[in-house]
Structure 1
Amino acid sequence: MGSKATSADAQTVVATRKADIIVYGGTSSAVIAAVQAKKMGKSVIVVSPDKHLGGLTSGGLGFTDTGNKEVIGGLSREFYQRLYQHYQKDASWQWQKKEEYGNKGQGTPALDGANRTMWIFEPHAAEGVYEDFVKEYGLTIYRNEWLDRSAKGITKKGGSITSIRTLSGNVYEGKMFIDATYEGDLMAAAGVKFHVGREANSVYNEKWNGVQVGVFQHRHYFKDKISPYKIEGDPKSGLLPEVSALPPGKNGEGDDKIQAYCFRMCLSNHPDNRIPFPKPEGYDPNRYELYARVFKAGWRETYDKFDPIPNRKTDTNNHGPFSTDYIGKNYDYPNASYERRRQIIKEHELYQKGLMYFLQNDSRVPADVQDKMKQWGLPKDEFKDNGGWPHQLYIREARRMLGEFVMTEADALGKTKVPNPIGMGSYALDSHNAQRFVTEEGYVQNEGDIGVHPDKPYSIAYGSILPKENECNNLLVSVCVSSSHIAYGSIRMEPVFMILGQSAATAAALAIDSKVSPQKLPYEKLKEVLLKDKQRLEW
């Protein structure tokens, strides 16, 4: 989402480009979908708004959320096998000896027992694997190409997309289209129905959807009674920054709030590979007063999610009551204009850079924390064209399609048998906080953080990547799948997005061969190819 794009650019058709399958997106799912389409003998074009391929997988999320690794098959598993091979080379260990890092990244043996996998890796290593796929399969990728989301951005005929247009004026014609973006922009522009926010528990007979005040399933809440007011204990003094004045709502009710975003920072503590955190523009130390009060209450978990990846680096994620998640500042992101999204992304960046500067420099931070914090900085050898800062904001959830089949809590907990499986998930139902509010007693608290483990790995239904046929009959959606908020909390893992990208492309290719819509494709035909290509479909 980093590049400039305005609809004023889209006046004339610059070029018309055609392929059997058009993939929109630059995510991990998009690349894998394109590889699979090529493997099935189809011409494919990837229309990528991003310059860098791989989304979050190459954007800082190197400490992979896997769940049960046995259910990760096909090209998704091959991706992690290639990373294992990368780290077998001595040249891949510049800042640390391989033996020093140990076996932290080593995965379970592959299903055939022949190759091993690496689930923990550096951003540039992941991007390198995606670029290897591009070269090996001769993929056609047009980067910095943004869908024109106005009425003229999509041409449809008889329920089919015939072409899409980008802001640069290029037109892409295809027989099948795959939306592999985190935002679901192509899906939305094609007139496919979707949902944003948390459904009430009553909608799908769920327990963990909707508002969840007083439910604390991770350690991301305020354990101590901490005042949210500028002058402690004085409501008249006004609220501190980063606290909402709105009531949280009643438990189980739906709302339009979405779980918080952050950047998965890659940090380095090697003196020769470290960029110190500068004071960001507009820095205001008072916006972190709440964090100072958390420290004052005795909290000392600052480094609990500095997860180690190779070469003395981290995948640093949100942890604790006040951290890198910019809670409540992303509600309008899914449907926002490109301009507004860029603004939201910049706000997240400044908040997070300010947080790091605060930890290193503010006298309210305990000395032991500050001394250790000063050993860390952004890595010189990652995100080189962005000053060491990740190029992708962690869009944990945006739009979710309302498709042929909606995956719900019971499905994602492994309690049901879903129809026509095309892949599997196994991670916990995982939602980050959606709001920070003032309790009735006058203290600050977070809400929305859920972590419920499934009984066993579960299957993901083919219908969850298909729009309803009367809305669009040649589109598959591999990231913004048809799912409730809380089921999506498990599905939304990068290995799963790659699995679904492969399955979407398989279905698209078979639908072209069979001259039917993906909705009318006989499942047995799809299943046969998925199994041949080593996808795991059932537990």
Structure 2
Amino acid sequence: MRILPLTLFFVASLQAADLQTDVCIYGATPGGVAAALAAARSGSDVVLVEPTARIGGLLTSGLSHTDFHSFESLTGSFLEFSQRVKAHYVKTYGADSDQVKASFEGTFGEPKVNLLVLQQLLKEQPRITLREKAVLVSLDIEDAAITQASFKSGDETLKVKAKVFIDGSYEGDLMANAGVKYHVGREGRDVYGESLAPEKGDSELQAYNFRFCATDDANNRVPIAAPKGYRREDFVAVLDFLKPGKIDRVFGYPSRCIVKAQTPALPNRKYDLNDVSRGLVRLSMPGHNLGWPEGDEAVRQAIFDEHLRYNVGLLYFLINDKAVPEAIQQPAREWGWCKDEFTETGHLPPQLYVREARRMIGQHVYVQQDSEHAPGDARAKLFTDSITMGDYGNNCHGTSHEGPQIGGKHGGEMYNPVPPYQVPYGALVAKECTNLLVPVAVSSSHVGFCALRLEPIWMSLGQASGHAAALAIQTSKPVHEVSMSTLQSRLHQDKSATIYVADVLPGHPLFEAVQWWGTAGGLHGLNPMPEKPGQRGKNLHGQYFEANPGHAAELSKPMDAYTRDLWLALTAKLGILSNELPKAPTRGDFIQAAFSKKQ
């Protein structure tokens, strides 16, 4: 669970009652919401339980500049969500409005708009029952299966019986209560042979900070007030860095600033504030979060408060203290919190950015090598049991800090470019439990997790979990025995990709066929590995790029002898025999003919 300030907890409105359902999901993070939507659309009744007063996790708590590299990587549940965000701005302001342009195809939504869209998506599904402000307290387990979960909200208790359970929490709280094996911290290099891992394992976690929503619009600006417990002496050290050649502004992008006010701005002149990667002064606080993953409510609350005190206090000092140089302070005074955001929590995000907590040790542990190039190939390692894909890389803002909080240096930071990568189904599946799926605290090493911990990927993992849960129920099988071909087919029909294809996107008439073919291995071996590993397309701005090169299906391209022989060998391996295949004039014709003959 993510802990809200204590003043935000209200007397429970839940009535003590037992609910019986098909799927119970704990944590209405983007991954949890996507799981609920998918399970409901696959015909299951769903109870979605959120421990806080606000659904959506970080997607509705300040993380508005979504982390991805190319639009071509956005499919399934996140694509639907972003399209709905864009549609909101079109309806509200007009198709040619500045707000629509600023939304960046719906991936840069204001927190309140992101929340509204997720609420609407859930309300449209009558099979979904949402319960908020309910914290998991215990599980009943029989014969390696969870039978019931008990939740507490104030003085009330809610008991939910379900056939399949999904842990949508950032922390893996339900997974841990189920007795599933997990890891907290970093593995040593010898555990999985990862070059980016430390020589020896340790308890370090990727650092946390807040993702504030701020504005320089005087008409919508609220002053940044001193946080509770503010002490001036905690921030005086920052003055040493406010000199020419070091830091020349408080709010900026991408460097030489205190906080990253990510550009371009969000709709209505709002900014997503974040930690400055490799910056001289950081919002993130490595080492101060170590108690969070397994901490109780009081421990997590203390960590929340400490991060709030430092993150807000630093900005308050820079804007208000007389010792700050005027050239830096004056522009900073034009900034403040957004009057129309987080109105229930003093205009501050109600959730801390928990970048990493527990990670399951499941049937497949996702590691560094899983997102690297296949030998000599433009594409990453092939997973024929893939249930989603991503386009980002191993990204870590630091796990340790040497020296004082202001003036020291982060350690454990990494930004590793890789090609678009797949995620196998086994990363969702626990070894010890027959009816549990874990799409957020997903089975992975620390390094592997740094490539999966992005909201679009978490939503796709959640979407796969929802469909898998429904399929397991419908076929009376444990979750690890669901038909992979059936699950992948449902995902493709739900416009979710299991492999990156730059030129055949959801909505294309051959999307399902190309996804099936590519996931079977048909798109590997067509293009060589680029000179620079993880080569990306032309830069759009910041971390955003055009489609990844070497990843197009090129359906209209005439068949050549090499590709024909390669593909005929694959169809034979798949048990597909057809006289039409050798005669197919183009790649698209071949894939379409093979798809029509598949079992």
CA–CA distance in 1 between the matches of 2:212 and 2:97?
A: 22
Structure 1 ranges of 4+ moved more than 3 A: 90-93, 101-105
CA deviation after TM superposition for structure 1 residue 294, in Å: 2.1
Letter in 1 for 2:43: G
CA–CA distance in 2 between the matches of 1:421 and 1:370?
A: 51
| Structure 1, unpaired ranges of 5+ | 107-116, 211-251
Contact in 2 for aligned 1:72/1:424 (Cα 8 Å): no
CA deviation after TM superposition for structure 1 residue 104, in Å: 4.4
Letter in 1 for 2:425: Y
- Structure 1 residue aligned with 2:121: 133
- Structure 1 residue aligned with 2:491: 530
Change (3 A) 1:4 1:289: closer
Change (3 A) 1:414 1:165: farther
Out of 166, 180, 189, the position equivalent to 2:151 is 166
CA deviation after TM superposition for structure 1 residue 473, in Å: 0.7
Change (3 A) 1:514 1:262: same
- CA offsets per residue over residues 153-185 of structure 1, 9 Å max, x none? 110000000001012321110000000000100
More divergent stretch after superposition (83-92 vs 260-269):
83-92
Change (3 A) 1:483 1:432: same
Out of 274, 278, 298, the position equivalent to 2:246 is 298
Out of 128, 131, 134, the position equivalent to 1:142 is 131
CA deviation after TM superposition for structure 1 residue 270, in Å: 1.4
CA deviation after TM superposition for structure 1 residue 289, in Å: 3.2
- CA offsets per residue over residues 251-299 of structure 1, 9 Å max, x none? x222101111111000011112111011222211222233222224632
- CA offsets per residue over residues 115-162 of structure 1, 9 Å max, x none? xx32111000000001111221133101000000xxxx1100000000
CA deviation after TM superposition for structure 1 residue 423, in Å: 0.3
CA–CA distance in 1 between the matches of 2:79 and 2:55?
A: 18
Letter in 2 for 1:300: D
Change (3 A) 1:301 1:432: farther
SS in 1 for 2:163: strand
User: What is the root-mean-square deviation in Å for CA atoms of aligned residues?
Assistant: 2.2
Out of 33, 36, 45, the position equivalent to 1:34 is 36
Contact in 1 for aligned 2:139/2:178 (Cα 8 Å): yes
1:98 paired to 2:89: no
1:452 paired to 2:416: yes
Out of 345, 361, 382, the position equivalent to 1:417 is 382
Contact in 2 for aligned 1:419/1:462 (Cα 8 Å): no
Letter in 1 for 2:415: G
Contact in 2 for aligned 1:72/1:499 (Cα 8 Å): no
Contact in 1 for aligned 2:366/2:444 (Cα 8 Å): yes
- Structure 2 residue aligned with 1:267: 214
Out of 423, 440, 452, the position equivalent to 1:479 is 440
SS in 1 for 2:90: coil
CA deviation after TM superposition for structure 1 residue 92, in Å: 8.4
Pairs within 5 Å for 1:169-184: 169-184=157-172
- Structure 1 residue aligned with 2:395: 430
Contact in 2 for aligned 1:424/1:537 (Cα 8 Å): yes
Change (3 A) 1:386 1:462: same
Letter in 2 for 1:514: T
SS in 2 for 1:452: strand
CA–CA distance in 2 between the matches of 1:438 and 1:132?
A: 47
- Structure 2 residue aligned with 1:514: 475
- Structure 1 residue aligned with 2:293: 334
- CA offsets per residue over residues 54-93 of structure 1, 9 Å max, x none? 1011110111111232122112210010111111134489
CA–CA distance in 2 between the matches of 1:28 and 1:502?
A: 10
Contact in 1 for aligned 2:227/2:308 (Cα 8 Å): no
CA–CA distance in 2 between the matches of 1:294 and 1:269?
A: 24
Change (3 A) 1:512 1:3: farther
Out of 161, 168, 180, the position equivalent to 1:192 is 180
CA–CA distance in 1 between the matches of 2:452 and 2:49?
A: 24
- CA offsets per residue over residues 465-505 of structure 1, 9 Å max, x none? 1101xx11100001000011111112100111111111001
- Structure scoring higher RCO (CA < 8 A, sep ≥ 6) equals 1
CA–CA distance in 2 between the matches of 1:321 and 1:188?
A: 37
SS in 2 for 1:460: strand
Change (3 A) 1:45 1:417: same
CA–CA distance in 1 between the matches of 2:335 and 2:91?
A: 26
CA deviation after TM superposition for structure 1 residue 538, in Å: 1.6
Out of 99, 102, 123, the position equivalent to 2:111 is 123
- CA offsets per residue over residues 422-449 of structure 1, 9 Å max, x none? 001111210012222149xxx8322121
Contact in 2 for aligned 1:309/1:315 (Cα 8 Å): yes
- Structure 1 residue aligned with 2:45: 43
Change (3 A) 1:74 1:298: closer
SS in 2 for 1:448: strand
Contact in 1 for aligned 2:55/2:115 (Cα 8 Å): yes
Letter in 1 for 2:428: I
Letter in 1 for 2:89: Y
Contact in 2 for aligned 1:68/1:457 (Cα 8 Å): no
CA–CA distance in 1 between the matches of 2:5 and 2:20?
A: 25
- Structure 2 residue aligned with 1:278: 225
TM-score using structure 1 length: 0.83
Contact in 1 for aligned 2:249/2:328 (Cα 8 Å): no
Contact in 2 for aligned 1:380/1:387 (Cα 8 Å): no
CA deviation after TM superposition for structure 1 residue 30, in Å: 1.2
CA deviation after TM superposition for structure 1 residue 363, in Å: 3.5
CA–CA distance in 2 between the matches of 1:310 and 1:326?
A: 29
SS in 2 for 1:311: coil
SS in 2 for 1:267: strand
CA–CA distance in 1 between the matches of 2:359 and 2:293?
A: 10
Letter in 2 for 1:445: K
CA deviation after TM superposition for structure 1 residue 4, in Å: 5.5
SS in 2 for 1:480: coil
Contact in 2 for aligned 1:477/1:504 (Cα 8 Å): yes
- Structure 2 residue aligned with 1:76: 78
Letter in 1 for 2:202: D
SS in 2 for 1:147: strand
* Count of matched residue positions in the alignment of Structure 1 and Structure 2: 470
- Structure 2 residue aligned with 1:109: none
CA–CA distance in 2 between the matches of 1:87 and 1:365?
A: 39
CA–CA distance in 2 between the matches of 1:425 and 1:155?
A: 35
Change (3 A) 1:26 1:278: same
CA–CA distance in 1 between the matches of 2:183 and 2:109?
A: 33
Letter in 1 for 2:132: R
CA–CA distance in 2 between the matches of 1:328 and 1:342?
A: 16
- Structure 2 residue aligned with 1:313: 270
Letter in 1 for 2:446: H
Out of 295, 302, 314, the position equivalent to 1:343 is 302
Letter in 1 for 2:124: E
- Structure 2 residue aligned with 1:214: none
- Structure 2 residue aligned with 1:462: 425
